[in-house]
Each structure stands twice: as C-alpha cells, then as structure tokens.
Chain A
C-alpha cells in the first residue's frame, strides 16, 4: 500500500512540472512588456532595459522558466503589480475562502447526489426515476452563474432570508454567519456536480444490482436496505468516487463564476481582478495554485480507490 502511494506521488511530479510549464508558457506568450506594466508608460528606455535585465526578461525562454520554477519551489511566487504585495501569502489567504466554498459545495453535492442516484436506481423506470432523470438534465443544463442569480432573486430579494452576497455581515462574525453566507453560493455551485454524481450513482448501482452476489444476498433473505447499502453501494462506489474527484475540479473551476456572482472573496475574484489589471504574477500564481490543487485532489481520489477496492494496488 505504501509502495503504491509513493509510486502515485512520484507520478505526480511530471504532471505538476507540465502544469507549471504550461502556466508559465501561456503568460510568457501574452502580449505586453511586464517591465512597461511595472514602470508605466512614462518610463524611459534605459530604466526599462535595466528592469528587464533585473527581472531576467532578456534571458532565453527556458532559462526564464527554470529560474521562475526555482523561485516558486522556494516560496517566492513574485509580487503583485497591482496590489504591491507578495503573491503567495495573498493567494493563500484568498484560497481559504475558496476552499470553504468548494468543500461545502462538494459536501452538498455528495449528500444530494448519492441518495438521489440510489433512489432512482432502486425505482428504475418508475415515475420517480423518470422525473429525477429529467431533473438531472435540467440541473446539468443550468449555467452556474444564472442559477446563482436566480437563488439571489428568490432567497435574498424576494424572501429576504439569506444574504445576497459576501462572506461576512459587517456587524456579525463567527461560524453561523459564515454558514448563512455559504448557503446560496454553495447551492449554485453544488447543483451541477450533484446531478452528475446522481447520474453516475444510478448507472453504477444499476450495473451492480444485476450481479449474482446481489441475487444471492436477496436469496439468503437479507433485508433490502442492507442489500442496497452493504452489498450494492459499496461495490458501486469506485466510479462514483471517480466522478466526485472530477467534480471537485469542476467545483474549483465553477467557483470563479460563483465568486463573481456572490462577491465571495476567494481566489476566483482575486484572479479576475488580476486578469483585468494584467497583473501577470498574480494571475500566474492563482492559476498555478488552483491547477496544482486539482492535480493533488485527483491523487487523493486515486489513493482512495485502493482503500475502497484492495485489488487496485496489486495491479
């Protein structure tokens, strides 16, 4: 088991290197001179050339990448042009807010998606199943930013029971207040993931329910609830966990849109401000952090498989 985990972690290194290379390449190819952005349009040619030299911008691409990577590994992620602050502490602070939103949404998606999929599978072709399948397609077709706006209109403006935006009320603090602010953005973000989890749970359960051991369990007189939860669900979990892992990535991406709708002070909002201001060190750092988190989440999912199915790490 330990060997398997070490192998998976080692396999992560080239992927993370690839991700860092792509992030650097994309922003390297961006038009515009970073020295000019930092010094402003009134800078003279000498000071621009000096700054380009100081920043290493006159070096070949590969040297620039390796230097940048070395600094990143040492914790120096550059300095935000717009906010005049170190990038790493800035994005880590904002990432905390994003993590709250992503994890809470993932929890909601799992809590809704898995039971919905089980109910649908155990009542295959019933009215309930058909309604839930259409519901899944409806949920899947809703743009996350529009769903967020609809929730704001209904719960915040029409009913007035939940805050319309932000992460904290001015005069209130603490977990209950955070929870109240989390509900709507999480609902918006979780819907897409929940319907995909429900759909995968349904098809995976339907496949498992055809197996001989399920028939044997029933023949032994096992009560249906135990057949479903102890025998079927446990064996149906692998593809469900895969989809959950993929959906956490989707949540990290969709999160950017939801953060804009709800003015949630996470990394997405910070990144958008950085893009608009062409603050490349900030954008580079934010993209690298989110993409790396996505890769690490996928690793955790891979390792989780071997707990769910002990046969996997022997392969």
Chain B
C-alpha cells in the first residue's frame, strides 16, 4: 500500500510511511487540501511566504485605517525627509508625500493588478487549453500556431506593443499583462488534457455516453488543477513585478496614484538626495514576489513529492 501511495505521489518520506501505518489502524480520509497543508506546514520558507503575503494583503485592505497620512497629500516644506523622521517613519518623497502611506495604499493597486491579471490569464488560458486539448484537430492547430506566435515575442515586448496601441494607463497595463500570460496557461492545461484524455476513466466516460462538456467540467478540469495552482502562485509575483515595470516605464498606473512602480520611478529621479525613496517601494515589490515564490515552490513540492529542488 505504501508503495502504491508513493507511486501516486502521496508519500515521500519514511516518517510519513510510519505515520500512515498509525493511520491504518484508525483510517482517516485526507482530502487533497489536507495532504497539501500537512506537507506545506513543514516547509518553513513556504509558511514564511504565506504569512508575509497575508500580512501585506491585510495591511493593504486596511489602508484607510493604517495609513498615517493621505497618500496624495503634497507638502513642499517636507520634501525628501529621511527614514526615521518623526511623523514620517519611512520619510517623504520629492513632493513631501508620506512614503509609508503611499506604500500601504500602493499595495492595493499592485496586488490587485497581480491577482486580477493572473485570474484573467488563467481563465482564458484554461478555457482555450481545455478546448484545444480535448477537441484537437484544426481548432488545436490554428490556436496553437497563434499561441506559438505570441510566444515568439519576449513577454515585455508584447506587453509594450499592446500598451503602445491602447495608450498608457492602469487598465491597459493590466490587460496587456494578462494577455501576455494567456499562452502560458493554455500550454499547461492543454498538456494536462492531452495526457488525461487517453486515460481509461475518460474513455469509459465516453463509452457511457457522457456529455463532452460534462467530461471537460467534471474530469478534465479538476485533474488539470494541481499544475495550474502552482503556475498561478508563481505567476502572481511575476505579474506584480511586470505591472510595476510598466508603471516604472510610465505606461501603467499614472501619477499621482500611489503605486509601487510609480513610487520607484519618481524616487529614481532623486537617488542622490534620497535613495530611500526608491529603495523602499522596490523592497516592497521584492518581498511580495519573494514570498509568492517561496509559497509557489512549497506548493509544487507539496503537490509533487517526486520533484525536489
């Protein structure tokens, strides 16, 4: 039994085998979520990532309560104050705006862009991947060639082309980042579906006369989820970084909005006088992306014990 469980990827260490022997005496059914959580809680870096992410999300949600100042309030008498100034813990920017308040409010935009872009790209990519993988034929050929062409562009170049056409702005940047992400999810889901569709239980579902949409919705989609979850977790960080990059270039969120990419860009103009104005927002992006990468890596190990870093 243990060998079987190891084969399907549910056991990976000797201690877990012993633990399972205990469980055999009093059988306990564990859901996939419970198995993931059991593994994830042993991974200190993944836990650290999860806690930091929850902390940043909470702080962003509570921005109206937590931010000590109005993030857009200009005070030219308080320009470029250093870190540790009373009343302005992280100092002020070139227009005398409180950096801590802008950082707290900025998290809202950066996280919103990251999560919504991934959600959009994942939904569109999953749908296309399910259909092309399941139906195959000319639909698959045409769409996959289009995907190949999209992937022939370096990601940021394609996003730049889209923003260049639509014009700068947060919504356009979000859309561009999301469109760039679609091929990634399409390939992941299509790959899973191609592997799954020849399995016996899918063939049996066909033989029993199940509706095609029923097979897609109840068999193919749920079984494509694990690689999708890992990819999405790792991708949110990348999307946040990407969108901040577009704002840094002046193509994403527009001033005076409090957004981490804009803060970096504005701080960069004064790096000699006030390096903290660009270090702090960059650090915020970095820590969120790092926490998502720790979490994504942990999830990957938890879902696929054969894959060791």
Residues on A lying within 8 angstroms of B by beta carbon are 14-15, 18-19, 21-23, 26-27, 29-31, 133-134, 137-138, 140-146, 149-150, 152-153, 157, 249-250, 252-254, 256-257, 260-261, 271-272, 274-276, 280, 283, 287, 290-291, 294-295, 298
In contact, B286 and A143 (Cβ under 8 angstroms): yes
In contact, A143 and B241 (Cβ under 8 angstroms): yes
Q: Which residue of the partner chain B has the closest CB to A158?
A: B275
In contact, B155 and A253 (Cβ under 8 angstroms): yes
Q: Which residue of the partner chain B has the closest CB to A153?
A: B275
What's the minimum C-beta distance from A15 to chain B, rounded to whole angstroms? 6
Any A CB within 8 A of the CB of B194: no
In contact, A252 and B154 (Cβ under 8 angstroms): yes
In contact, B162 and A26 (Cβ under 8 angstroms): yes
Q: Which residue of the partner chain B has the closest CB to A30?
A: B165
Known: A252-B154, A253-B157. 11 other contacts (CB 8 A): A18-B149, A23-B161, A137-B290, A137-B293, A140-B293, A157-B271, A157-B272, A250-B154, A254-B156, A291-B152, A294-B154
Which of B150, B248, B251, B285 has most A Cβ within 10 Å?
Answer: B248
In contact, A30 and B166 (Cβ under 8 angstroms): yes
- Chain B residues, Cβ within 8 Å of A252: 154, 157
Q: For chain B residues 148-207, which have a beta carbon within 8 Å of chain A?
A: 148-150, 152-157, 160-168
- Chain B residues, Cβ within 8 Å of A31: 165-167
What's the minimum C-beta distance from A251 to chain B, rounded to whole angstroms? 8
Main secondary structure of the interface of B (DSSP, over half): helix
Any A CB within 8 A of the CB of B309: yes
In contact, A261 and B268 (Cβ under 8 angstroms): yes
In contact, A133 and B157 (Cβ under 8 angstroms): no
The one of B149, B268, B297 in contact with A149, judged by C-beta atoms closer than 8 angstroms, is B268
- A18-B152, A149-B268, A152-B271 in contact; A26/B237 too (CB < 8 A)? no
Q: For chain B residues 130-161, which have a beta carbon within 8 Å of chain A?
A: 145-146, 148-150, 152-157, 160-161
Main secondary structure of the interface of A (DSSP, over half): helix
What's the minimum C-beta distance from B97 to chain A, rounded to whole angstroms? 19
Any A CB within 8 A of the CB of B305: no
Residues on B lying within 8 angstroms of A by beta carbon are 45, 145-146, 148-150, 152-157, 160-168, 237, 241, 244-245, 248-251, 264, 267-268, 271-272, 275, 278-279, 282-283, 285-286, 289-290, 292-294, 297, 309
The one of A250, A257, A276, A287 in contact with B161, judged by C-beta atoms closer than 8 angstroms, is A287
What's the minimum C-beta distance from A116 to chain B, rounded to whole angstroms? 14
Q: In the complex the two chains form, what is the Cα distance from A6 to B299 in whole Å? A: 43
Q: Which residue of the partner chain A has the closest CB to B283?
A: A146
Q: In the complex the two chains form, what is the Cα distance from A295 to B151 in whole Å? A: 10
- A26-B162, A30-B165, A153-B279 in contact; A19/B153 too (CB < 8 A)? yes
Chain A to chain B: the 3 pairs with minimum beta-carbon distance, closest first: A253-B154, A146-B282, A18-B149
- Chain B residues, Cβ within 8 Å of A150: 279, 282
Q: Which residue of the partner chain B has the closest CB to A15?
A: B152
In contact, B163 and A19 (Cβ under 8 angstroms): no
In contact, B154 and A27 (Cβ under 8 angstroms): no
The one of A137, A143, A253, A295 in contact with B294, judged by C-beta atoms closer than 8 angstroms, is A137
Q: Which residue of the partner chain A has the closest CB to B45?
A: A134
- Chain A residues, Cβ within 8 Å of B292: 141
What's the minimum C-beta distance from A244 to chain B, rounded to whole angstroms? 15
Q: Which residue of the partner chain A has the closest CB to B288?
A: A141
- Chain A residues, Cβ within 8 Å of B268: 149, 261
What's the minimum C-beta distance from A166 to chain B, rounded to whole angstroms? 15
Q: Which residue of the partner chain B has the closest CB to A17?
A: B149
- Chain B residues, Cβ within 8 Å of A27: 161, 164-165
Q: In the complex the two chains form, what is the Cα distance from A261 to B278 in whole Å? A: 12
What's the minimum C-beta distance from A264 to chain B, rounded to whole angstroms? 14
- A143-B245, A149-B282, A290-B154 in contact; A276/B250 too (CB < 8 A)? yes
In contact, B165 and A253 (Cβ under 8 angstroms): no
In contact, A143 and B161 (Cβ under 8 angstroms): no
Q: In the complex the two chains form, what is the Cα distance from A34 to B75 in whole Å? A: 42
- Chain B residues, Cβ within 8 Å of A144: 245
In contact, A145 and B248 (Cβ under 8 angstroms): yes
In contact, B290 and A138 (Cβ under 8 angstroms): yes
- Chain A residues, Cβ within 8 Å of B164: 26-27, 30, 274-275, 280, 283, 287
Q: Which residue of the partner chain B has the closest CB to A202?
A: B309
What's the minimum C-beta distance from A164 to chain B, rounded to whole angstroms? 8
- Chain A residues, Cβ within 8 Å of B167: 30-31
Q: Which residue of the partner chain A has the closest CB to B292?
A: A141
- A15-B148, A157-B271 in contact; A257/B279 too (CB < 8 A)? no
Q: In the complex the two chains form, what is the Cα distance from A145 to B244 in whole Å? A: 10
What's the minimum C-beta distance from B124 to chain A, rounded to whole angstroms? 17
Which of B45, B146, B264, B309 has most A Cβ within 10 Å?
Answer: B309
